[in-house]
Amino acid sequence: MKTSSWVWIGVGVIVLILLLTLLGTYNGLVGADENVNKTWANVQTAYQRRADLIPNLVETVKGYRDYEAATLTKIVGLRSEAGKAKVNIDSATTPEQLQAASGQLDSVLSRLLVIVEQYPDLKASQNFLGLQDELAGTENRVKVERDNFNEAVRDYNVKVRKFPSNIVAGWFGFNVRTNFQADAGAEKVVKVEF
């Protein structure tokens, strides 16, 4: 073979290596870009979960709190009626007064027993603790997804800025991406009101 043939083969091999490097770099940048997009979508999913879940949980806890308060008010009222019935029994002087006062006490006690049987476990505090746990878990999920997004952006930005991939990135319009940044005022504690 002639020397010029070897030169053309050498040039062809170099061009092939450059072309494969270019393709590999481009594909790596596309993969990193799509990973950033995916992780941002995960952040948005966590936000949506929070937006869907937390108001519903708060309303459920508020409803149960109100229900429990009404039930306890009924119990306190019945207890008061029972106290009055007992006073009537103690102060009864005739059998008719005693029977009427006993009937009144029986009525109060039966209504009280019905309420207690229907609602044996009135513990809004457990609901509040559950809400608190769910709030903490949701915020942790959001934080994890934000951290994953920032990590994906960092990996992508390193590829976009490193040589020689920065040349390929410039040719094909891959630009540095911005990390997640909190909104102004996000450092303030969020209030949950009932």
Would you say residue 182 lies in a domain? no
Number of domains in the chain: 1
Would you say residue 189 lies in a domain? no
Residue of 27, 42, 25 whose CA lies nearest to 150: 42
Q: Which CATH number covers residue 44?
A: 1.10.287
Would you say residue 111 lies in a domain? yes
Domain that holds residue 149: 3-172
Would you say residue 125 lies in a domain? yes
Q: Report d(CA 190, CA 50) in Å as an integer.
A: 13
Q: Report d(CA 69, CA 129) in Å as an integer.
A: 17
Residue of 64, 66, 107 whose CA lies nearest to 85: 107
The answer to whether the bond into 164 is cis (omega within 30° of 0) is yes
Q: What band does 190 get if pLDDT is binned at 50, 70 and 90?
A: low
The angle at the Cα of 82, spanning 77 to 85, to the nearest 5 degrees, equals 130
Average pLDDT, the chain: 78
**pLDDT at position 125:** 65
Tell me the pLDDT tens digit for each residue of 98-135: 677 777 766 766 666 666 666 656 566 676 677 777 77
Largest CA distance in the chain: 137
User: What would the DSSP string read from start to end of 142-181?
Assistant: HHHHHHHHHHHHHHHHHHHHSTTHHHHHHHHT--PPPPP-
pLDDT at 187 over 60: no
Q: What band does 14 get if pLDDT is binned at 50, 70 and 90?
A: very high
Percent of all residues in the chain with a pLDDT value above 70, rounded to a whole number: 79
Would you say residue 140 lies in a domain? yes
Would you say residue 179 lies in a domain? no
Q: Which residues contact 135 (CB under 8 A, 6 or more apart)?
A: 54, 57, 192
Would you say residue 185 lies in a domain? no
Q: What band does 147 get if pLDDT is binned at 50, 70 and 90?
A: confident
Q: What is the mean pLDDT of residues 157-175?
A: 89
Category of 192 on φ-ψ map: left (φ > 0), alpha (ψ -120 to 50) or beta: beta
Would you say residue 33 lies in a domain? yes
